[in-house]
Amino acid sequence: MATRIVMAEDSFIVREGLRMVLDEAGLEVVAAAEDYDELMTAVETHHPDAVITDIRMPPTRTDEGVRAAIEIRRRWPEVGVVVLSQYVDPGYVLTLFEEGTTGLAYLLKERVGDVDELIAAIDQVTSAGSVIDPRVVEVLVTARASAKASKLDRLTPREREVLEHVAEGKTNAAIARDLFLSERAVEKHINSIFTKLDLSFAEDVNKRVRAVVVWLADR
């Protein structure tokens, strides 16, 4: 039997072009959605083998495709999902694969023109495999290789723990209570954090806020 596909794309021209590509490849498009809600309804109704979805759709045109893929994998783990994007954005990829890689693919839209590559991705996700577009992998590897060492690497595990509590807006007294430390010990840890993050001699800045910014940036 032909692989049954639900596709989601809000652009009529792109949607019909993709439908034509899939039809010619021998796949059966059982439904075509224009937004997040239509996509989820179509999957629930048709129980396809795979879903092909644009990354940005109504209502917000931000990350509906990624959110739909994650929800589909939670609710129907037997359904593979291929997310198509025109964005070489590692952030989308990391979010997509945050809960696991099984049955998921992230391809750039330019791959739609390469029918063999698109079909291979569909085959992978319907066989519990996964695919990441080679260009995105290249960006991830390059970013990893060129990234500077994080200042947070200078901190001890306890100092990281204290800084995390600072980032939650807690006072020294609250941190001491939660970590079973004395307030004096918390003060020492925080002063050490300031030193290791090169904030000891910073003037006209809130050192706690600046330290939290460093922590958030690293995450």
**Model confidence over 23-48: pLDDT tens digits?**
999 999 999 999 999 999 999 999 99
CA angle 36–41–45, rounded 5-degree value = 150
Q: How many CA atoms lie less than 13 Å away from 66 in the CB half-sphere?
A: 21
Q: Which residues contact 38 (CB under 8 A, 6 or more apart)?
A: 8
Q: Which tens digits make up the pLDDT trace of 63-83?
A: 999 999 999 999 999 999 999
Say if CB 49 and CB 77 are below 8 A apart.
Answer: no
The CA-atom distances, in angstroms, between 43 and each of 5, 72, 128 are 9, 8, 18
Phi, psi of 29 (to 5 degrees): -85, 110
- List, for the chain, all residue ranges whose pLDDT scores fall below the cut of 70: 141-149, 202-205, 217-219
pLDDT recorded at residue 65: 94
pLDDT recorded at residue 204: 57
pLDDT recorded at residue 148: 57
Amino acid at residue number 136: V
Q: How many CA atoms lie less than 13 Å away from 109 in the CB half-sphere?
A: 16
Amino acid at residue number 121: A
